[in-house]
Amino acid sequence: MYAADDPRSKLASASPKKATPLAFHDAQRQFYYEDAPQESSELGRVWYARGQNLVTVYADVKAGYSFKRAAQIDEYVVLIPDRETKVRVAAGNDQQLVDGNSVVMVPPGRSEVEVLADGVIVILATTRSADLVARCANAASYAAPDPNVADFEAWPPAREAGRIHAYSLDVPPEEGRFGRIFRCSTVMVNCFEPAGPRPVDKMSPHHHDDFEQYSLVLNGEFTHYLRWPWNTDMNSWKEDEAVVCGGPSVTVIPPPVIHTTRAAGPSNNIMVDVFSPPRHDFAQKAGWVLNEGDYQPPA
pLDDT at 121 over 70: yes
Q: Say what the pLDDT of residue 10 is.
A: 66
Neighbour tally for 11: CB within 10 Å? 17
pLDDT tens column, 254-282: 999 999 999 999 999 999 999 999 999 99
State what percent of residues in the chain have pLDDT above 70.
96
The answer to whether position 12 is within a domain reads: no
User: How many structural domains does the chain have?
Assistant: 1
Provide the residue type at 3 as one letter. A
CB burial readout 214-253, b (16+ within 10 A) else e: bbbbbbbbbebbbbbeeeeeeeeeeeebeeebbbbbbbbb
Mean pLDDT of 26-55: 98
**What whole-number distance in Å separates Cα of residue 57 and Cα of residue 70?**
17
CA 50/CA 189 separation, integer angstroms: 16
Report which of 168, 193, 68 is spatially closest to residue 123, judged by C-alpha positions: 68
User: Has residue 298 been placed in a domain?
Assistant: no
What does the pLDDT read at residue 4? 66
Q: Which residue segment(s) compose the domain that 97 sits in?
A: 30-171+178-279
Q: Is the pLDDT of residue 225 over 90?
A: yes
Residue 12 has pLDDT above 70, yes or no: no
Residue 73: which of 164, 182, 212, 185 has the closest Cα?
185
**Within a domain: 267:** yes
Residue 119: how many other CB atoms lie within 10 Å: 22
Domain membership of residue 133 (yes or no) is yes
Q: What integer pLDDT is reported at residue 299 of this predicted model?
A: 80
Q: Is 208 among the domain residues? A: yes
Helix (H) or strand (E) holding 132: helix 130-134
Predicted local distance difference test score (pLDDT) of residue 18: 75
Amino acid at 257: V
Distance (Å, rounded) from C-alpha 226 to C-alpha 261? 9
- Length of the chain counted residue by residue: 299
Q: Is residue 14 part of a domain?
A: no
- Any domain includes 275: yes
Query: What pLDDT sits at residue 13?
Result: 57
Residue range 138-189, pLDDT digits in tens: 999 999 999 999 999 999 999 998 999 999 999 999 999 999 999 999 999 9
Average per-residue pLDDT for the chain: 95
In percent, the amount of the chain with pLDDT more than 90 equals: 91
Task: Check residue 249 and give its pLDDT.
Answer: 98
CATH of residue 119's domain is 2.60.120.10
Q: Is 9 within the bounds of a domain?
A: no
